[in-house]
Amino acid sequence: MELLINVINDTSQDLFYIKLPFFLMKKWKKNYELANYYANEGQKKEEKLIRIGTRNSPLALRQAQILVESINQLGRQLGRDMACDIVPIITEGDKKLETALSEIGGKGLFTRELDNMLINGEIDCAIHSMKDLETSLNPALYIGAVLARDDIRDCLISPLYKNINKIPTGAAFGTASLRRAAQVKLLRPDLDIKLIRGNIQTRIQKCHDGLVAGTMLALAGLNRMAMQADADQIFNPGEIIPAVAQGALAVVAPKHNQAMAEILPLINHQPTQMATQCERLFLHHLDGSCKTPIGGYATLHGDNITLYGFLSRPDLSKQARAEKSGHSKDWQAIATALAQELKDLVQ
């Protein structure tokens, strides 16, 4: 018994026919399938895991998972296997919770270890709350993608009083943010600001334990942790101007990693990138650090961008708010002009 089969000539790509006995046909088919199987397995092994560095807090891990979901969705669209591995670490900033960041090194304490791992090739990228990133990165690194922004607003956690105006005179209000402290003082100059640091759950628990009458958190973090019900009062940006880049997630990568250079632009959210780069330049011009109360956010409307800013003296003796608008292509000039205006107002 004989079967007719088609074979592709690898050199000429011409189609020709050969005749094989049935038993040889079965053996050829089996070897062909095995060769295909091992070839496919080899391709899978060549697909390297994308190693994502992150802090070890519950919120940071959830944010890393959001990045994984974005990369996996891209992989499905491209028909590629983009497997990810989350690499959590405890940063120096996570260890020193009893001291204000302004006294022990600022925002860099949350990123330094991850930066070193990126440069040394131990991870491929790192996910950060963008508001925790310093405005100047290590020269070997860059922001490869900014994910779609969540809610920019701050919210009050006060299980007993529910509203900042109902907190008793002289009560303790907990925060480690000079920006929040300055603006709370504008709303309630009679409250006593106390330093509290830690993850979302830790700070909420301090309110429930009565250590402070209230605290303030970014609503974006509660949203990501499905803890929106813990927000007792949500402040619009006209009441409490948020931190620069609040609600945005930044993916930092080493410049030498070609795979990340190809993947990250495909998950970048352009409107969020435009708004946050304007905000970060504004912060940079103000020499923003954890020692200066600064807030800012940008909104996009068609081709126009509006940047809102807040600046206070460190001793809270003088504060100012202002805004600038213009065409989005002029975002750098807008950020620079607003920073200078606020400097002049608080001098």
Dump pLDDT digits (tens) for 197-215: 889 999 999 999 999 999 9
Name the more confident of 10 and 176. Answer: 176
In which band, very low, low, confident or very high, does the pLDDT at 105 lie, cut at 50, 70 and 90?
Answer: low
Per-domain boundaries in the chain = 2-46, 48-149+242-268, 154-234, 270-347
Ramachandran bin of 216, using left for φ above 0, alpha for ψ from -120 to 50, beta for the remaining angles: beta
- Please tell me the distance from the alpha carbon of residue 292 to that of residue 311, in angstroms, as a whole number: 8
Q: Is 150 a catalytic residue?
A: no
- Please tell me the distance from the alpha carbon of residue 64 to that of residue 58, in angstroms, as a whole number: 10
Long-range pairs for 281-287 at CB < 8 Å and ≥24 separation? 281/135, 281/331, 281/332, 281/335, 281/336, 282/244, 282/307, 282/309, 282/335, 282/336, 282/338, 282/339, 283/135, 283/244, 284/135, 284/136, 285/335, 285/336, 285/339, 285/340, 286/311, 286/339, 286/342, 286/343
The predicted pLDDT at position 2 comes to: 40
Place of tokens 């022990």: 104
Superfamily of domain 154-234: Periplasmic binding protein-like II (3.40.190.10)
The CATH code belonging to domain 48-149+242-268 is: 3.40.190.10
- Average pLDDT in the 250-271 region? 98
- The 10s digit of each residue's pLDDT in 317-335 is 999 999 999 999 999 999 9
* Kind and range of the H or E run holding 295: strand 294-301
Q: How far apart are the first and last CA of the chain?
A: 98
Strand partners, 84: 50
The CATH code belonging to domain 270-347 is: 3.30.160.40
Place of tokens 């009560």: 171
Q: Residue 221 is encoded by which pair of tokens?
A: 């973090």
- The 10s digit of each residue's pLDDT in 272-284 is 999 999 999 999 9
The CA-CA-CA angle for residues 250, 255, 259, to 5°, reads 85
Q: Among residues of the chain, what percentage have pLDDT more than 90?
A: 76
Residue 1 has pLDDT above 80, yes or no: no
Residue 168 has pLDDT above 70, yes or no: yes
Name the catalytic one among 132, 150, 151, 232.
Answer: 132
The radius of gyration of the chain from alpha carbons, rounded to an integer in Å, stands at: 27
> Burial level of 79, CB count in 10 A (0-12/13-18/19+)?
exposed
In which band, very low, low, confident or very high, does the pLDDT at 96 lie, cut at 50, 70 and 90?
Answer: low
In which band, very low, low, confident or very high, does the pLDDT at 10 lie, cut at 50, 70 and 90?
Answer: very low
- Please tell me the distance from the alpha carbon of residue 337 to that of residue 85, in angstroms, as a whole number: 43
- Please tell me the distance from the alpha carbon of residue 318 to that of residue 153, in angstroms, as a whole number: 23
Residue 193 has pLDDT above 90, yes or no: yes
270-347 has the same fold as 48-149+242-268: no
The predicted pLDDT at position 203 comes to: 96
Name the more confident of 21 and 234. Answer: 234
